[in-house]
Amino acid sequence: MPVLTKKIVHEFDFSWINHDYLTDTKGQRIEIYSLQSNKSIPSLILLFHNLFDQYLSSISIGQFKQEGEWGQFTPLFYEVNNSFFFYFHHSFSIGLYYSKENKSIREILKKETELNLVVR
């Protein structure tokens, strides 16, 4: 199974992101939930691989500085070539932000039916 290359950066330049408050970002935001009853770290890892395996060689890890109840930094995984980023949520979902729907986003969203997922 492929793994991510560790490339920690503290800022990434997507002009559509609100770096002061992530929730006010101008792009689209969805949450992807698995309908499996097993809510665990291994099931979240499997969901990650099912959705993003083809992008592993181009995904970088960034830290988003934002004060909040979950801490000072949020780790984000971003893919510059297709202009999207995502994070793992405590509810065992994956939050996905993208600037506009492109072929990569359509491929990810198409997996909703294949993998028995809920996209909100």
Q: For the chain, which residues make up each domain, given as ranges?
A: 28-119
What is the fold of 28-119? Double Stranded RNA Binding Domain (3.30.160)
Distance CA 31, CA 86 (A): 9
pLDDT at 75: 77
Tell me the average confidence (pLDDT) per consecutive run of 10 residues in the chain, 120 residues long. Answer: 57 75 85 82 88 89 64 75 89 91 94 86
* Helices 103-114, 41-52: inter-axial angle, 10-degree rounding: 130
pLDDT at 100: 92
Judge contact between 65 and 72, C-beta under 8 A.
yes
Which pTM value belongs to this model?
Answer: 0.83
Query: Strand locations in 13-81, DSSP E?
Result: 28-34, 59-65, 73-79
Q: How far is CA 32 from CA 71, 98, 118, in A?
A: 22, 13, 6
pLDDT at 10: 54
Looking from the CA of 17 toward its CB, the CA atoms found within 13 Å total 20
pLDDT at 105: 95
